[in-house]
Structure 1
Amino acid sequence: MTAVMAIVEDENKDVLMLQLYYQEENERAAEEILEEGMLGFAEHNLAATAWKTKGNDHFKESKYHAAIEYYTKALDCSPTVEEAHTLRLNRSLTFLKTKQFDAALSDLEFGSTTPKPAEKALFRKAQALDNLHRYRECCEVLKVLRLEYPSNVAAKAQLTRAVNRLAEQENGKYRFKQLYMEATKLRPPHLDHSTYVGPVSVRASGSRGRGLFTTEAVRAGDLLLCEKAFAHAFVDTGKAGHNQDVTILINSETDSMTMGAQAELIRMIVQKLYRNPSLISVITDLHHGSYKPVDAFDVDGTALVDTFLVERIVSLNCFGCPLFSRESHLRAVDDDMSQKMNEEQFHSCGIWTMASYINHCCYSNARRAFIGDMMVVRATRDLAPDTEITFWYQMPVANGYGKRQKKFRQWDFECNCTICQDDRTMKENVLAKRRSLRADVLKYFQSRKGTGAAKIEIILATMADTYNRPAIEVPRLSIWEPQLALAKMYTQQKQPVKAIDSALRALASLGYVIDGGNLPRTTGTPMVVKQWGLMMDYLIDCWMLLSSAYRLVAPDLEAQAEEYARISYRICVGEDETFDETYGKLSDLNAGS
């Protein structure tokens, strides 16, 4: 992290140590900010043209911040209207180079000195609007540019791109395979795509502060949100030595330390807000706990960014993320049951501002997935209008109550979902019996000695008796995995009817209500998920197992089971364009289980 320290004198003639942090890496050398021997006054009596020349010279040397200062001095020297127009055009380009899109746009709002708008002004205005994700306005400016200057090839390409981003923003139509290709090539994987906000809105959520709610009825698998990160700090874990270059941020006031990508994320956000004050409220409106922000918004006309507030907001709102959730999903379903207790840890992280309003619930009704710096949020069940959307901050697993609650202390809340209520109110001797039975059944599977399925059935039935409430209210986290493992055992033993029964029991243990799937049945009766339960990655595997078993004994249900597998895949991975090519891998996993 770039840091600059200097001795300064304040207005009370007191000597202070001035420390500048959060500077942009590799953009501005420390000596360009504070040169040795620099005093707090500038040259005078230079004409606007002289300052402009200095600005141009520094621009050519890529010293953009210095160039901005000189263009500003030139504008302070009462230039002619034409000179002022040229200076603002020059300064706007320099602002674009330094990612100060608000300032560039401000310079370009000044009228042209000719009836016809300047070509450069229109193009730069479009660039500023594009970088602020104001795609509709960007398209309008580019249409004018194309009309006035039809030979501008770059404007034509820019308009095509802006139209595509606007379509994503308004319709939520993405080519997800294209996103994968881009994220595979780009480092960092910051994709050129826009945010889509579906049928959701931010509203008050009682004691939970604010939350995200549906504005209309949605179905399981529907896209609620596809959001580009406000800021994304990427750690390339596939690169040798990625653990050696670690950012460390020490807060001496609170005796706390932030390391790794999260520290880098703070710097990125501070810089982005400082350059573009119009974005400040997007971040500062997020949950920040008990921290009391400063009550000033600017100093001498320059935007004030409360870095301590940003640090607090990042600690409470950032998401750890993989490069692709599809890869994480395949790792999850390839792990054996004893390994799945440990949720995958991610080195990269980001801030997705709309998703930050989604509150936690272990028994969630939405799932998030990632492709590069894009987060995809889909409903995991059918939701009525005005339903609060929730996803888990910590994955609920069997015997994981203490670990979950410890994690939740970071956000200063205690989860009160039905899963946690059951863990909290159940007598310890019952919980101990449940843990013991689960350990026993896992040992049977891990021994791989062909233990009789009848014995496993008895243990699972005994485990079910340790629950007082139906699975539709409290998903049975201790049962669903061994129940699915039993279904796989029956598949290997070529007993499809028993495999179907066990797989459906696995789904029922997670709260699924399914009509028409049990055998025997009347041919032609459709299988319908009347209520979706808790969505887990392994359920795609469960539906594919059902599809294979139905092919043997109830072929009219094969395609229906596969369609439910596809919907589940869409929820867990974020898209279903890769379902068919992943299907082979899932089938291999089934066959090898």
Structure 2
Amino acid sequence: MAPIPDQLINTYELGPDKERVQHEVSVARTGEKVIQILSTEELIQQHLQNIHHIDECSRDSNTRWAKQITIPNAYAPSMVPLEKLQQIPLSALALETHHRGSFITASTITPAYQFSTTTTLVQDASNTVAVLVLGFQDDSVTPIPQNSTVAIKEPYVKYHESAGWIIRVDHPSDIAVLRGDDPAVTMIMKFVKEKRDVSGEEWRKQGDGAFLEGKFGSAVECYTQALSDSLSKENLHSSQDVYRKRAFANLMSQRYQQAKEDSLASCSGTDLDAKAYFTAGKACYALRSFVESKTYLEKALELNPSDMKARKELNRVLIRLEEHNTGNYDFARMIQEQESNIWLDHADFTSKVEVRPTNYAGRGLFTTKDVEGGELLMCEKAFCLPNQYTGDEASDTVLFNFNNGTRTQKSGQALVFQNLVQQLYKNPEISKVFYDLDSGSYVRNGDEGKVVDGVPVVDAFLVESIRLKNCFSAPKLSRNLLKRNCPAHETNLTTAIWHKASYTNHSCVPNCGRAFIGDFMTLRALHAIPAGTELTHQYSAPDASTLFRREAYLSNWDFDCTCRLCAGEKKIPDENHVKRTELAKKIKAEAMKFSANGRTISMTNVKAIEKMMRKLEDMYEPSIYASLPRLLLVHPSIWLMEASRKANNTSKMVKFAIEVLKNFGFGSKIVDAVNEKVELDWEGGIVNTEVFNSLRNAAEGYDELGRSELAEGCRSAARRMYVVLAGCDVGIEKFFSGNLDN
């Protein structure tokens, strides 16, 4: 084989534009029989060159390649058991065809390439060689090793510029792999070659060896073979021992439902059952079935009262049940824990909310009892959250979806898709709650999560459709965003799914607010809410331009917002909105010019911006906006507030801080100067960090002006907002003393 050249093109990293061109060529050649245009040696050399190239890039600190993951045009996963399919050779495959009713088998003849995809070369019994591309990835295991055997159900074939054609697998349930490095597979091959049966005892010993090597999936397979042996079936004690071992292996493989079932199957009515109940309790804890976990751990302690591990686990369960039943959390501890591990060990609290049908948008989240402003409505652990927090810098993982033309902007968005696919594949018991979420216009087959050939069917395209409609962007700690001088890295965001929270519909003027502590989301009421009321929050911060908002909500979430702000603004001719938006852009440009390059802003500059803002203010229709936010005025009033603060003009700063509150909808008469009172219309206003900081500025300004009661009124309102925006009241006093502002 020729040496690998120094300069080469990576034929596996094409990028979305070239992928799209290849797709168009593939569609144009639909039905053509595949032709191997390169020899086996040439395919192998090209494959090894690509591996060498990506290895070199990973070692070069000056080169940063972005993973460019593409989701091709959607096709349905196979729902047919392997035994009902007809085997065909690779040479019988055709381009752009889903070979329904057929399957192929082949062996991997190279190490796997892994970057944007997992790619390897496979060869069938007739020596035909093909490029196999897996569109999904599982970073928890090594890629498919050489000398593995694969079976692909109803394979899908696409044109490829350099290789001629590829087999593309996007659904993990469409492929079965007998790994070449799996002790169970090695043992099977050995005894097939020797033409002799393997005893249950031999399988058990092989499973023990695999477990000790940390190959838990292989251990599970060996123990399964041992249980299927006739001798094991006849020997109840032996079977119970193998069930017990397989339970531990499943627990270590994070297959918790199977671990629970095996633990209970191992019970013999003796004191040995203490270990079985302990394992079942651990598995139920991992499944977040805390009541069931408590039951099994108590049984373990009945059989072995001195088991300190079981006692410790039971105490942990009791704390989780307290959280679940009462909503009483140690938020200070949670904040401390997320600094080292974002995946927190706490229970969900959701008893104050429930999912119900709405009369306008499918389903929504409703209160089950009366709640007060600031009260905790829900605290929920993320269904899936990758530890990938990024800012505005270029993403190192980009996801392109050919079905809707979307392109992700954050690495976390691509990772949450990949993680969801693997999570649903490994733990089918959790799939029901996920597949119940909205998937937009994607056409479902109705069998989501159905188990075929012992594995759950996972439709990767459905997973992405659900992700697009239900994802949240989240910081590690929302409290940090309230800092005046928040470091850039603390503003970084990831993307995640929260199951229950996903049912909350949008309103530009919502009645509850969310915050994040690690992988937990809190939802708190912004004001008093009666039982049976639908809860709403903002899908994204409402843009000042109503025309922009309408387009964004339709294109991203397929709905037309009917909140009272949008309903009011629809009564106004679009040309009025356009004129206001144009003036707002001019004000922003002028303000940025005054602030450019660290220039000192003069009071003359302030007067100029204020004059323009008053002109914009006069363009608002009083009959419509008497009790509505005037969002185009928000940016100018914030700029004027901050400019006055930097100029040490306290009176002006306070004046514009109150105007920020008015423009966000908190009322036209917020300050009663005669009676020294501050009153906010909590039902009419939009709670966010800008309003919080405006209240802080106003409080500090009133202190300087000797208006202590007004200062305390602003500070009291800011404290109430802090609890909503931070998720809890931890650190509130330090915050207002300025000790947490950096």
* TM-score of the pair, normalised by structure 1: 0.84
SS of the equivalent of 1:168 reads helix
Aligned residues: 567
Offset from partner CA, 1:308-367 (integer Å, 9 cap, x none): 2212111221222222222334379899xxxxxxxx996521111111111122222222
Sort the Cα spacing of 1:146 and 1:471 in 2 relative to 1 into closer, same or farther, 3 A: farther
Sort the Cα spacing of 1:432 and 1:280 in 2 relative to 1 into closer, same or farther, 3 A: closer
Task: Tell me whether 1:34 sits opposite 2:178 in the alignment.
Answer: yes
In the other structure, the counterpart of 2:604 is 451
In the other structure, the counterpart of 2:226 is 74
Q: Do 2:241 and 2:266's aligned partners in 1 also have CA atoms closer than 8 Å?
A: no
1:577 to 730, 735, 741: 730
CA–CA distance in structure 2, aligned partners of residues 462 and 537 of structure 1: 26
CA–CA distance in structure 2, aligned partners of residues 395 and 24 of structure 1: 34
Task: After TM superposition, give the deviation of residue 105 of structure 1 in Å.
Answer: 0.9
1:163 to 318, 321, 341: 318
Task: Tell me whether 1:284 sits opposite 2:438 in the alignment.
Answer: no
Task: After TM superposition, give the deviation of residue 110 of structure 1 in Å.
Answer: 2.4
CA–CA distance in structure 2, aligned partners of residues 444 and 251 of structure 1: 39
Q: Do 1:364 and 1:391's aligned partners in 2 also have CA atoms closer than 8 Å?
A: yes
In the other structure, the counterpart of 2:516 is 370
- Aligned counterparts, 1:501-580, within 5 A: 502-513=656-667, 517-521=671-675, 527-532=678-683, 533-551=685-703, 552-580=705-733
CA–CA distance in structure 2, aligned partners of residues 537 and 586 of structure 1: 18
Sort the Cα spacing of 1:74 and 1:472 in 2 relative to 1 into closer, same or farther, 3 A: farther
1:275 to 426, 434, 454: 426
Offset from partner CA, 1:72-119 (integer Å, 9 cap, x none): 111112421111111110000000111110111111222622343523
Task: After TM superposition, give the deviation of residue 249 of structure 1 in Å.
Answer: 6.0
CA–CA distance in structure 1, aligned partners of residues 508 and 723 of structure 2: 20
RMSD: 3.7
In the other structure, the counterpart of 1:338 is none
Q: Do 1:293 and 1:306's aligned partners in 2 also have CA atoms closer than 8 Å?
A: no
In the other structure, the counterpart of 2:127 is none
1:52 to 204, 228, 234: 204
Sort the Cα spacing of 1:453 and 1:321 in 2 relative to 1 into closer, same or farther, 3 A: closer
CA–CA distance in structure 1, aligned partners of residues 486 and 209 of structure 2: 59
CA–CA distance in structure 2, aligned partners of residues 488 and 35 of structure 1: 63
CA–CA distance in structure 1, aligned partners of residues 394 and 255 of structure 2: 30
1:11 to 85, 96, 105: 85
In the other structure, the counterpart of 2:545 is 399
Task: Tell me whether 1:175 sits opposite 2:330 in the alignment.
Answer: yes
In the other structure, the counterpart of 1:184 is 339
- Aligned counterparts, 1:164-563, within 5 A: 164-186=319-341, 189-237=342-390, 243-244=395-396, 246=397, 260-296=411-447, 297-330=450-483, 348-399=494-545, 401-402=547-548, 405-406=551-552, 408-427=554-573, 430-435=576-581, 437-438=583-584, 443=590, 446=594, 448-451=601-604, 459-468=612-621, 469=623, 471=625, 473-486=627-640, 500=654, 502-513=656-667, 517-521=671-675, 527-532=678-683, 533-551=685-703, 552-563=705-716
Task: After TM superposition, give the deviation of residue 174 of structure 1 in Å.
Answer: 2.2
Q: Do 1:333 and 1:537's aligned partners in 2 also have CA atoms closer than 8 Å?
A: no
Task: After TM superposition, give the deviation of residue 429 of structure 1 in Å.
Answer: 5.1
CA–CA distance in structure 2, aligned partners of residues 251 and 494 of structure 1: 51
Sort the Cα spacing of 1:219 and 1:399 in 2 relative to 1 into closer, same or farther, 3 A: same
Q: Do 2:568 and 2:624's aligned partners in 1 also have CA atoms closer than 8 Å?
A: no
Q: Identity rate of aligned residues, in percent? A: 28
CA–CA distance in structure 1, aligned partners of residues 298 and 365 of structure 2: 35
Q: Do 1:541 and 1:586's aligned partners in 2 also have CA atoms closer than 8 Å?
A: no
**Which residues of structure 1 form unaligned runs of 5+?**
3-7, 336-343
Q: After the TM superposition, which of the residue ranges 502-511 and 442-451 deviates more from structure 2?
A: 442-451
Residue type of the alignment partner of 2:425:
Y
Task: After TM superposition, give the deviation of residue 298 of structure 1 in Å.
Answer: 1.9
Task: After TM superposition, give the deviation of residue 479 of structure 1 in Å.
Answer: 2.1
Sort the Cα spacing of 1:402 and 1:513 in 2 relative to 1 into closer, same or farther, 3 A: closer
Q: Do 1:471 and 1:508's aligned partners in 2 also have CA atoms closer than 8 Å?
A: no
Q: Do 1:318 and 1:349's aligned partners in 2 also have CA atoms closer than 8 Å?
A: yes
* TM-score of the pair, normalised by structure 2: 0.68
CA–CA distance in structure 1, aligned partners of residues 585 and 136 of structure 2: 50
SS of the equivalent of 2:87 reads coil
Q: Do 1:183 and 1:372's aligned partners in 2 also have CA atoms closer than 8 Å?
A: yes
Q: Do 1:229 and 1:375's aligned partners in 2 also have CA atoms closer than 8 Å?
A: yes
Which structure's relative contact order is higher, taking Cα pairs within 8 Å and 6+ residues apart?
1
Offset from partner CA, 1:203-234 (integer Å, 9 cap, x none): 11223111111222222322222111111112
Q: After the TM superposition, which of the residue ranges 163-172 and 355-364 deviates more from structure 2?
A: 163-172
Sort the Cα spacing of 1:449 and 1:528 in 2 relative to 1 into closer, same or farther, 3 A: closer
CA–CA distance in structure 1, aligned partners of residues 286 and 332 of structure 2: 24
Residue type of the alignment partner of 1:392:
Q
Residue type of the alignment partner of 1:518:
D
